[in-house]
Structure 1
Amino acid sequence: MSDMNANRAFVRSDMLPEQAPPALETGVVKWLRENLFSSWINTILTLVSFALIYWVAQIIVPWAVFGIWDAGSLTECRAIRDELYGVSDGHGGGVACWAVIAERWPQIIFGFYPSDLYWRPILAFALFWVAITPVLFEGAPRQLLVVTVAFPFVAVALLWGNVGGPIAVALGFALGWAIYKFATPAIGQLAGTIATIVVPILYWILLSGYIGDGLSAILPGLEPVGSSRFGGFLLALVIGISCIVLSLPIGIMLALARQSDLFIINKSAVVFIEVFRGVPMIVWLFSASLLLGYFLPEGMDPDDLVRVIILITLFSAAYIAEVIRGGLAALPRGQYEGADSLGLDYWQSMRLIILPQALKISIPGIVSTFIGLFKDTTLVVFIGLLDPLKGLSDAIRATTEWNGIYWELFIFSGAIFFIFCFGMSQYSQYLERKLATDRR
């Protein structure tokens, strides 16, 4: 008996082969069980949701998929529909009449911009993507920053055909750089910074218009196109891009001013931010259209589009300032003390330590504000500009060919807005993941 116990192995000498996980714990089945059928109430809600989606889809999908693309008017579209599907209900139901998109998409995109000059906004839009590439993506060639700096002036020349105006404005930036570079060492940092800001502003208000007109008369230029010809998504992109690019640096300066210990600077920033945030945007749009000219110097009378860009920029900057102020307030006090311990002055600490962290914290709020701003460009319809959603849709429906069509125009415009806004949202999430150093 003892010999049998001596030869018996109590420790396994080989491992069992790996077993496949249970079917309920892997793949699609696991996801469905955990997300859709995790409890009896979730199961009921899932089934009800599927039924609702099916009911909506069986109405919308045939209407959209089997729509008519080749017709010259709504009446012709209905005749084709009746012939193909035997639908005769006296209105535009049954299937979609996408022919209005096929025929009028250039007008929805470009408004009333001259068709023989479409190459100019297309080129400006292409240059815009080249210009923002080194700003948005770290691996882009740094040489493209030349395009980034020159793009605003080139875009204005392309879109409006005004060559002298952008050059005159660029001279103001060159003037500010020259003052900061050469005058600051002689008059001191504070005085030099104030002069760098104030002198170009005075130049732009008092002299740039006359210089721009003189240069336009001398230099060969492109065919001029007035702002009244802008419309559709060209108008939305011009307003949206301009206001986004301009409002961010202004909002940063306002946020820093509101955090300042200097009484006048602090209270001026508070008044500016609260006034613009406390009044609806539509009021500022009407102010831009009707009242802004009374506050500008004599002889300086920008058109409606420029007025709208100015007021929406200031409105958006007030919201951006509060978003960034939240990021500044979220930083621990030790970050400020650490910057002081390194011997950095105010601007160095802000540029190198404080602002990068505050902007990282504020990314969701900043992008959310930008998305709202881009969608709010449709409000310009109330002051007579042809936005893509209401202004252009009404202009197309006012024609005899397409009088009575609605959903197709709204769906097309909404889809384009979704593409741009979803793109901004996705880039925001990419930037958050890239900068999430605390999670690595």
Structure 2
Amino acid sequence: MTRKETTPLSRHVDGIYRTESRRVFATLVRLLDGDFDLAEEALHDAFRAALEQWPREGLPDSPRAWLVSVGRFKAIDRRRRAARFAALDEMPEPGCDDADDPAVLADDDIGDDRLRLIFTCCHPALSPEAQVALTLREVCGLTTEEIARAFLSAPATVAQRIVRAKTKIRNAGIPYEVPSQVNLPERLDSVLRVIYLVFNEGYAASGGNALTRHELSDEAIRLARLLASLLPEAEILGLLALMLLHESRRSARTTPDGDLILLEDQDRSRWDAALIAEGQALVDAVWSTRRVGPYSLQAAIAAVHGGASEAAATDWARIVSLYDLLERLEPSPVVALNRAVAVAMHDGPAAGLALIDALLQRGELTDYHLTHAARADLNRRLGQVEQACAAYEQALALAKQAPERLFLERRLAELHAAASD
């Protein structure tokens, strides 16, 4: 939405836009035969109409249904004006349209238009990069710039990926549907990857003034729950457990002013015990199947943290062993970095620092701010002030998110002050 108002109702409309716009969009895509661009235009037309009509007519009983209905009317008008379809005269006139019909607005047997949308965006005909970019844009409503930061890519590159993906969907006739039960398992990997990226963007935003964007994390968890109800495979349950266990720590991750609090310094009484219990139960259920995958292993690591009453009680030996399994199952520089931090906690900072230095010497994660932040912290713990300052400065040069930058600046200032004493 581009129009800015200051009235209470307009602020309420802004709130509805934040919480409902992508749901409205997903339903409009279904009602408009999979036309992403027309659905996006209809979505914004509907919210413009809401800003004009709701102050006069009041808030409708069902804002989402109203927005879907008006958006569909607006799309019909756009199609008529553009004369895109020869048979448009057969379409119902406004006032006779069936968009208010519960049978039209009701979700089908999968229970969610957004789940249908995410499977369409993650269709195997699209490249993995396009799947993620399109889902973040169309399902979650992230801007091109936000997606570019997540990809460490230029905004123009991401925009081209999105345009090409929508063109591919249209030209290839990719259906707007959830795959059949037979084809569903092979489609899950890309969907799980996208859902987890959405969660991560909400749990640790890639940029901006806030550490988190809870609406994205909530949406990722909601989608994972839907997936689990549809197909309770071990890795779906593992991903859900992982997100729940991370989400349990949200309220303890920042001060009232929004400043970052590290895991070891968090007030664990503020962790959500219900989410921890649910996540740990899911981890136990997955491990009982003996079909443990990368998400399940990460969830098991998070469960170890969740079971520690205080930081000093953390079973770091167990965490290191789980990272050993994860590194064998799905090796990656980020997994190696996380394992190095766990090793530092178990065997001492020098052991972890050696592993991180080896990563950097191989040219891995040199542009990842958390690599340099971890290295800086280990140097700090070893009393190597000059090296710690240099690493903090490198991390600060790469960090995009305001709370992380503030945290790094404070650590750097503390080191400079200590060195001058």
TM-score by length of 1: 0.25
More helix as a share of residues: 1
TM-score (norm 2): 0.26
